[in-house]
Amino acid sequence: MQLGDGQTTYGLQIQPRMGFFTDTSVCIGCKACEVACKEWNLVPEDGLVWSGNSYDNTGELSANTWRHVAFIEQQLDDGMRWLMSSDVCKHCTHAGCLDVCPTGAITRTEFGTVVIQDDVCNGCGYCVTACPFGVISKREIDGDGGMHKCTLCYDRIEDGLEPACAKACPTKSIQFGPLHELLERAHGRLEDLHEAGVDDACLYGANEDDGVGGMGSVFLLLDEPEVYGLPPDPVDPTRNLGTIWGAAGAAAALLAVGVAFAFVGGGDD
């Protein structure tokens, strides 16, 4: 299956849509991806602390954490299990962040990925409210004031390299490549796991009929999405923009009518 893409305006420069497949069933929680990402992308240090939530010490995706390894300890009937998962920007087919950005700082690259141009962003914060996954936030370090997130290592993939996180991952939990190949691989892996009796295994983001038109980062999960901090039914809010502009137009018209009505019968008592 091929997910739709948004890079149709690139003409001859168009590239296959690239993405991530994060197979959480083989993640060992080593955080090599977090470290490699920080180093390559010069993402500043934002506190060396333990969250107290299992082995998690970065907490969530943010302007300063572009790969986040989640650790979920679960008590099962026959013992405990530990779920680990490296989360990242979904590089949505319909990206809310990109739709609402008023400066054009957020663009779709020739690889179909979603990138913030730091020298254009004016820090309005609209993208933060439009991402269904809580990926983007404001960098408050050294007076930066801009919004930041994963670029899918745009500078590396332009030169034919794989993103730093995928390169560093020792178990191939993070895989990089043309999205259609990754989707094939993801479906194959899912089948294998189901055959092996792992019934709860499922794919997240691999369906173009979801609320964001499918994701450029696909995940294999072993539990429901919420457990990993992922929304169960993410929707790009701009999908409903027709309704929203319609409501705004109607409200404006009613206000004009209201003002006119206020003058009915003259201005004097």
Partner 1 sequence: MTESRLSYYGKPIIKEPVWKAEIPNYFFIGGLAGGSATLSAAARAAGNEQLARRALYVAAAGVTVSPYYLIKDLGRPRRFYNMLRVFKVTSPMSVGTWIVASEGTSTGIAAACELFGILPRVRGAAQVVSGLLGPAMASYTGALVADSVVPVWHESRRELPLLFASSSAAAAGGLAAALTPVASARPARRLGLLGAVAELVTHKVMERRMGELVAEPYKKGEGGRYAKAAEAATLSGVGLMLLAGRTRTGAAAAGVLLAAGSWSTRFAVHHAGKTSAADPKYTSIPQRERAAERGQPAVTG
The site for ligand SF4 (CB under 6 A) is made up of: 89-92, 95-97, 101, 103, 105-106, 114, 116, 121-127, 131, 133, 135-136, 147, 149
Residue 159 corresponds to which amino acid?
D
Residue 213 Cβ vs ligand SF4, minimum distance, rounded to whole Å? 10
Residue 175 Cβ vs ligand SF4, minimum distance, rounded to whole Å? 18
Would you say 143 or 197 has its CB closer to ligand SF4? 143
Chain residues 31-70 in contact with partner 1, contact rule CB under 8 A: 51, 53, 56, 59-60, 70
Residue 162 Cβ vs partner 1, minimum distance, rounded to whole Å? 25
Contact at 8 Å (CB) between 93 and 215?
yes
Beta bridge mates, 71 = 84
Residue 181 makes contact with partner 1 by CB under 8 A: no
Which element (helix H / strand E) includes 20? strand 18-23
**Angstrom distance (rounded) from CA 124 to CA 147:** 9
**Angstrom distance (rounded) from CA 88 to CA 115:** 13
Q: Using CB distances below 5 to 8 A depending on partner kind, what does residue 251 bind out of partner 1, ligand SF4, none? A: partner 1
What is the full DSSP assignment across 164-219? HHHHH-TTS-EEEEEHHHHHHHHHHHHHHHHHTT-TT-EEES--TTSBTSS-SEEE
Residue 100's SS3 state is helix
Residue 211 makes contact with partner 1 by CB under 8 A: yes
Cα–Cα nearest to 217, from 185, 179, 162: 179
Would you say 49 or 263 has its CB closer to partner 1? 263
Would you say 69 or 116 has its CB closer to ligand SF4? 116
Q: Using CB distances below 5 to 8 A depending on partner kind, what does residue 32 bind out of partner 1, ligand SF4, none? A: none
Contact at 8 Å (CB) between 25 and 188?
no
Q: At residue 171, what are phi and psi to the nearest 5 degrees?
A: -110, 5
Between vectors from CA 64 to CA 169 and to CA 21, what angle results, nearest 5°? 35
Residue 80 corresponds to which amino acid?
M
Q: Using CB distances below 5 to 8 A depending on partner kind, what does residue 30 bind out of partner 1, ligand SF4, none? A: none
Residue 74 Cβ vs ligand SF4, minimum distance, rounded to whole Å? 26
**For partner 1, which stretch binds (CB under 8 A), given 13-21, 41-49, 134-142, 168-176?**
134-142
Binding footprint of partner 1, residue count (CB under 8 A): 90
Would you say 179 or 193 has its CB closer to ligand SF4? 179
How many C-beta atoms lie closer than 10 Å to residue 124's C-beta? Answer: 14
Q: Using CB distances below 5 to 8 A depending on partner kind, what does residue 235 bind out of partner 1, ligand SF4, none? A: partner 1
Residue 41's SS3 state is helix
Residue 116 Cβ vs partner 1, minimum distance, rounded to whole Å? 12
Residue 103 Cβ vs ligand SF4, minimum distance, rounded to whole Å? 4
